[in-house]
């Protein structure tokens, strides 16, 4: 199979952004049985709409059915799987074997992918799941390149690896700190992320957290393709449309350049700067080359104040104007940048600007206000406008 870029989708808008910005497939949870129990998630009607949208673009949808089930949670699972099958989704992502077993007994046509919650780091475990009919393994985030390569060689399975986003402190699925500290069941989607709280150790004076820095595999994408990774997965079903657009846009371009043999290290630096600014967090490759150590964690003083880089999203073009939904303050004279699918980033200085009553304005200050900007550029629906910070020409 060709290299797949797999994006999270917390709702229909983010799903559309992810696919339009270059994801080959998206994953999301239904309103039950998903590990983001407190995200918006998708009703069955949403799943149908999402599947049709993706399939019309020639892309794929995967539905997470990845909680660890208690007996009472099993009520309705059979009907749910049959509904997903009827809709025609491409795969489910599961960790509890009861789901795999049931999907096979029901002769569901969708593929079964084994979630990272199963914590797979070796070929024998992967072979076991293959013997049950799984077609793809989402490896544990702790997998290093040696193990990824070996698992591919020994099993021939499709391998999916996380390349970007938040990490668990623990092996995913092997933590119930949330249950003990907040009574929220982490393995049924209620994780309160207690590991990110502040702690003291014994009688020491130091205050610390166990928070991992984000994962970021930009420097290693080429190597991951070489050792046999099939699907490159971005974490973040609860992230913003801007985050999704920025991250997916970056990885889409990186993967395409690698495949076309046009990639060089200047792009690595450029996209690392873009993505680190977008997330407001430090990021590292974590376990790919070594056991993640102290430099892969935050202990103190993590500054995660949101920036206001995301200025707006293009709704449509009307003659020499674009209609834009404002997301952060901007004013006449600001230098910004448009980026979007099917276009190279374009620098733009804000000039003539109107509100939705066609009143000339100097400042767009109201969240989500509709703004009309004079602009001769041809910009598609969902093109994003951001503050201009980095320019690729400075890196090349």
Partner 1 sequence: MKSKIIVNIEHLEDIDRYKKVGINTFLFALKDFCVGYENVFEEKIINEYPDNFVLINRILDCDDVDRLRGLLPTLKVKGIIYEDIAVFNLVKELGLDWELIFFQNHVGTNSESINFWLAKGVDAVFISNELTKEEIKNISVNTAGRVVIQVLGYNQIMYSRRLLLSNYNDNFQLPRRYYGTIEEISSKIKFRVMENQDGTVVYSEKVFNGLELMDLNAKYFYINSTFLSFEEIVNFLNGNSKVESDRGFLDKETIFKLRGQ
Binding site for partner 1 (CB under 8 A): 37-38, 67-71, 73-74, 96-98, 101, 119, 121-125, 127-129, 140, 142, 144, 146-147, 150-151, 154, 169-171, 173-177, 179-181, 183-185, 187-190, 194-195, 197-202, 204, 206-208, 210, 212, 287, 291-294, 296-297, 299
Decide: 16 and 49 in contact? Cβ < 8 Å: no
Q: How far apart are CA 312 and CA 39, in angstroms?
A: 23
State the Cα angle at 326 between 321 and 329, rounded to 5°.
115
Least distance between partner 1 and beta carbon 319 (Å): 44
Residue placing its CB nearer to partner 1 in the complex, 74 or 225: 74
Least distance between partner 1 and beta carbon 232 (Å): 21
Least distance between partner 1 and beta carbon 121 (Å): 5
Phi-psi region of 19 (alpha: psi -120 to 50; beta: other; left: phi over 0): alpha
Count of CB atoms situated within 10 Å of the CB of 391: 12
Least distance between partner 1 and beta carbon 244 (Å): 22
Q: How far apart are CA 61 and CA 58, in angstroms?
A: 10
Burial class (CB in 10 A: 0-12, 13-18, 19+), 334: middle
Got the DSSP string for 322-359? Answer: EEEEE-S-EETT-EEEEE-TTS--EEEE--SEE-TT--
Residue placing its CB nearer to partner 1 in the complex, 183 or 306: 183
Residue placing its CB nearer to partner 1 in the complex, 81 or 364: 81
State the Cα angle at 134 between 132 and 135, rounded to 5°.
140
Residue placing its CB nearer to partner 1 in the complex, 38 or 43: 38
Q: Kindly state the tokens that stand for 320.
A: 């020499």
Residue placing its CB nearer to partner 1 in the complex, 177 or 323: 177
Residue placing its CB nearer to partner 1 in the complex, 163 or 195: 195
């Amino acid at each position: 199979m060709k290299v797949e870029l797999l994006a999270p989708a917390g709702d229909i808008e983010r799903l559309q952004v992810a696919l339009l910005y270059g994801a080959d497939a998206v994953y999301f949870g239904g309103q039950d049985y998903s590990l983001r129990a407190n995200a918006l998630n998708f009703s069955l009607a949403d799943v149908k709409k999402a599947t049709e949208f993706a399939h019309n673009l020639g892309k794929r949808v995967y539905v997470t059915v990845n909680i660890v089930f208690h007996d009472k949670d099993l009520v309705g699972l059979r009907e749910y799987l049959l509904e997903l099958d009827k809709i025609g989704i491409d795969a489910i992502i599961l960790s509890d074997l009861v789901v795999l077993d049931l999907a096979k007994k029901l002769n569901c046509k969708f593929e079964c992918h084994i979630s990272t919650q199963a914590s797979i780091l070796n070929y024998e475990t992967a072979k076991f799941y293959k013997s049950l009919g799984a077609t793809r393994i989402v490896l544990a985030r702790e997998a290093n390149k040696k193990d990824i390569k070996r698992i591919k060689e020994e099993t021939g399975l499709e391998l999916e690896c996380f390349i970007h986003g938040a990490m668990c402190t623990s092996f995913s699925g092997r933590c119930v700190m949330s249950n003990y500290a907040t009574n929220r069941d982490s393995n049924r989607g209620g994780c309160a992320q207690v590991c990110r709280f502040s702690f003291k150790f014994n009688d020491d004076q130091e205050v610390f957290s166990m928070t991992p820095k984000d994962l970021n595999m930009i420097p290693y994408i080429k190597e991951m393709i070489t050792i046999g990774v099939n699907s490159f997965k971005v974490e973040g079903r609860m992230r913003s449309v801007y985050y999704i657009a920025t991250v997916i846009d970056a990885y889409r371009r990186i993967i395409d350049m690698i495949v076309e043999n046009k990639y060089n290290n200047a792009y690595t630096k450029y996209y690392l700067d873009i993505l680190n600014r977008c997330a407001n967090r430090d990021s590292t490759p974590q376990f790919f080359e070594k056991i993640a150590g102290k430099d892969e964690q935050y202990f103190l003083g993590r500054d995660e104040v949101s920036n206001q880089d995301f200025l707006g999203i293009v709704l449509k073009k009307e003659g020499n104007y674009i209609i834009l939904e404002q997301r952060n303050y901007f004013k006449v004279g600001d230098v910004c940048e448009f980026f979007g699918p099917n276009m190279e980033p374009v620098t733009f200085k804000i000039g003539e600007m109107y509100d939705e009553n066609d009143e000339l304005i100097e400042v767009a200050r109201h969240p989500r206000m509709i703004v009309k900007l004079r602009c001769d550029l041809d910009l598609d629906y969902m093109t994003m406008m951001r503050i201009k910070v980095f320019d690729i020409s400075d890196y090349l």
